[in-house]
Amino acid sequence: MAIQLYVVFALVAASIHDCDGVLRFASYYNDHMVLQKSPERAVVWGYGPEGAQVKLNVSGQIQQNISQATVTNGIWRVTLDPVEAGGPYNVRASMQNSTAALTDVLFGDVWLCGGQSNMLFSVSQTFNASEELKNAAHYPHVRTFMASLVQSGTEQTDLIQVEIPWSVPPAYLAGFSAVCWLFGRDLYDKLQYPIGLVESCWGGTPIEVWSSPRALQQCGLLQQPDGGPKVNSVLWNAMIHPLLSMTIKGAIWYQGEANTVYHQEKYNCSFPAMIDDWRIKFHQGSGGQTALDFPFGFVQLSTVQKYSTSDAYPNIRWHQTADTGFVPNPSMQKTFMAVAMDLPDEKSPYGPIHPRDKQDVAFRLSLGARAVAYGEQDVAFLGPFPAKILSTSKYLEVTYDQKVSVAPSENIFEVCCSESQTPCGPKSRWVPAPIMQWDPTTVQVSTSLCSPTEEVAALRYAWRDWPCDFKACPIYSASNILPAPPFIADRRSARGINEL
């Protein structure tokens, strides 16, 4: 897919929109689209000659005669009355000498899918791709849209280019995001009403390019000299800012690999700051229709190198949770996470950094969405996490916040053996802490590998790039569906659980 800088083109395109005298919809309104259903109100906008009066009509199961909107600075904009889920509808904009129409429009929930290459990873690249594509024909009410990969040095009002217009599956689905599609499909199975999926992502990109200057300033991330995809805000400008007028239900995100080698230490700030900023900007851009706290789900990083001793991936996984190990948390409210460290793919033809099993990733995300976005009370979406850690002379006892399924392991837990009073770090002496025994809620791990002169100063779980084989980590929920996420607890610092 060609990657180009379209700043000059954008300025030319904007002038054409303003001056050509033709009534038209903005770039991401076309036949087959999904608009956000009630109780929110969808925003519809487009271009026309200055001062013209535009009337919008929605016809189908219900009919709305919208009062006229005036074209100002080349743009007209209408906020629809709330419409219940369903369709199809026709949407017709008209002025004295011109009309523009959208057909087969559905109302449902609209989800934005963003991130880097594991979100860009297409349906055709997944396991069972041919089966997934064939099965897609059974989901005509899950619609897809994809923004083109474009950069801009300034904030754009509209998308400069569209890669995949709103489509009915399986049309264009082979090249659409697998995680996004499978997430939407899983939601539809539960909700049974239309789902609109908007993909806007770019492989190999750090979070800085997706963040506004305001968000980056909060974390002290000033502009770096790097060119290309590391220029601050260039994808926020071209691929997110144009979507702010769209009323959305929520967003999902799969990104972080690029930040293992770029501002890694800032990700515990930059990620929550981006989420908060997106929420504010989408709320403002939609005239208050997108919720100020819209639900935001993300994938905790999977794996890349089986025998790596680097802390980069564990650190980013931890930073993805604002250094708490779990979400939602006080710094990241109304968020949900899919743990993916137990889904490695050593033989992936796209490299181990791109695991092909996106079905489990999407399913885990959908569980979080059902609980956080849709308020389902009885859906389990969180893996086991320590509620208390007790220390004895021979072992540590970890009590989890739910019942667990446990398998033996010699090295998934590690303890920090220390003779100093400083908090444990990457260069401290970490040794395996074998699982000794367990019951439905507790796990005991041995501390015998620390010498008698050393203090057991910290405990960590799954703190490595590739902690276990496929779906073979030792601790899962009692149902064996949700893996326990990684954690680190240091009794001499505020990092993690302070109950050692």
What is the SS3 string spanning 36-61?
ECCCCCCEEEEECCCCCEEEEEEECC
| 3-state SS, residue 258 | helix
Q: In this model, does residue 9 exceed pLDDT 50?
A: no
303's CB contacts (< 8 A; 6+ apart) are: 313, 341, 343, 344, 352, 353, 355, 465, 466, 467
State the average pLDDT over residues 186-192: 98
State the average pLDDT over residues 471-488: 97
Res 11: pLDDT: 37
Q: Strand 386-391 to strand 404-406: parallel, antiparallel, or no bridges (unpaired)?
A: unpaired
Q: In this model, does residue 319 exceed pLDDT 80?
A: yes
Cβ atoms of 191 and 110 within 8 Å: the answer is no
Angle, helix 267-285 to helix 312-319, in steps of 10 degrees: 40
Give the C-alpha separation, 65 to 492, whole Å: 65
Give the C-alpha separation, 254 to 117, whole Å: 8
Res 493: pLDDT: 59
Res 421: pLDDT: 80
Res 12: pLDDT: 34
246's CB contacts (< 8 A; 6+ apart) are: 28, 36, 43, 110, 198, 282, 285, 286, 290
Q: In this model, does residue 188 exceed pLDDT 90?
A: yes
Res 65: pLDDT: 66
Cβ atoms of 396 and 497 within 8 Å: the answer is no
Burial of 270 by CB count in 10 Å (0-12 exposed, 13-18 middle, 19+ buried)? Answer: buried
Give the C-alpha separation, 480 to 404, whole Å: 8
State the average pLDDT over residues 42-66: 90
State the average pLDDT over residues 328-352: 98
**Residue carrying the six token digits 């399924």:** 405
Res 423: pLDDT: 85
Res 438: pLDDT: 98
Burial of 420 by CB count in 10 Å (0-12 exposed, 13-18 middle, 19+ buried)? Answer: exposed
DSSP conformation letters of 175-232:
GSBHHHHHHHHHHHHHH-S-EEEEEEE-TT--GGGGS-HHHHHHTT-PPPS--GGGST
Cβ atoms of 405 and 342 within 8 Å: the answer is no
Res 496: pLDDT: 42
225's CB contacts (< 8 A; 6+ apart) are: none
State the average pLDDT over residues 93-100: 93
State the average pLDDT over residues 242-267: 97
Q: What is the pLDDT of residues 399-439, one digit of tens each?
A: 999 999 999 999 999 999 998 888 898 889 999 999 999 99
State the average pLDDT over residues 287-295: 98
Give the C-alpha separation, 421 to 419, whole Å: 7
Cβ atoms of 368 and 252 within 8 Å: the answer is no
Largest Cα separation within the chain, whole Å, is: 89
Q: Identify the CA nearest to 125 among candidates 363, 366, 298, 357.
A: 357
Q: Strand 98-115 to strand 34-36: parallel, antiparallel, or no bridges (unpaired)?
A: parallel
Res 107: pLDDT: 97
Q: Which two tokens stand for residue 167?
A: 């489509």
239's CB contacts (< 8 A; 6+ apart) are: 147, 149, 150, 159, 200, 202, 210
Q: In this model, does residue 98 exceed pLDDT 80?
A: yes
Q: In this model, does residue 7 exceed pLDDT 50?
A: no
Q: In this model, does residue 466 exceed pLDDT 60?
A: yes
Percent of the chain residues past pLDDT 70, beyond the cut: 93
Partners of 99 in beta bridges: 94
Burial of 275 by CB count in 10 Å (0-12 exposed, 13-18 middle, 19+ buried)? Answer: buried
Going by pLDDT thresholds of 50, 70 and 90, the confidence category of residue 491 is confident
Going by pLDDT thresholds of 50, 70 and 90, the confidence category of residue 90 is very high
| 3-state SS, residue 468 | coil
Structure letter (DSSP) for residue 483: B
Global pTM value: 0.94
Res 445: pLDDT: 98
| Dihedral of alpha carbons 481, 252, 362, 374, sign | positive
When the pLDDT of each residue in the chain is averaged and rounded to a whole number, the result is 93
**Lowest-confidence segment of 4-18, 265-279, 332-346 by average pLDDT:** 4-18
Buried b (16+ CB within 10 A) or exposed e, 107-136: bbbbbbbbbbbbbbbbbebbeeeeebbeeb
User: What are the residue ranges of helices labelled H in 257-402?
Assistant: 267-285, 312-319, 359-372
Q: In this model, does residue 244 exceed pLDDT 80?
A: yes
Percent of the chain residues past pLDDT 90, beyond the cut: 87
Cβ atoms of 100 and 23 within 8 Å: the answer is yes
Res 294: pLDDT: 98
Going by pLDDT thresholds of 50, 70 and 90, the confidence category of residue 20 is low
State the average pLDDT over residues 378-390: 96
**Lowest-confidence segment of 53-62, 179-188, 406-415, 465-474 by average pLDDT:** 53-62
How many C-beta atoms surround the C-beta of residue 437 within 10 A?
Answer: 13
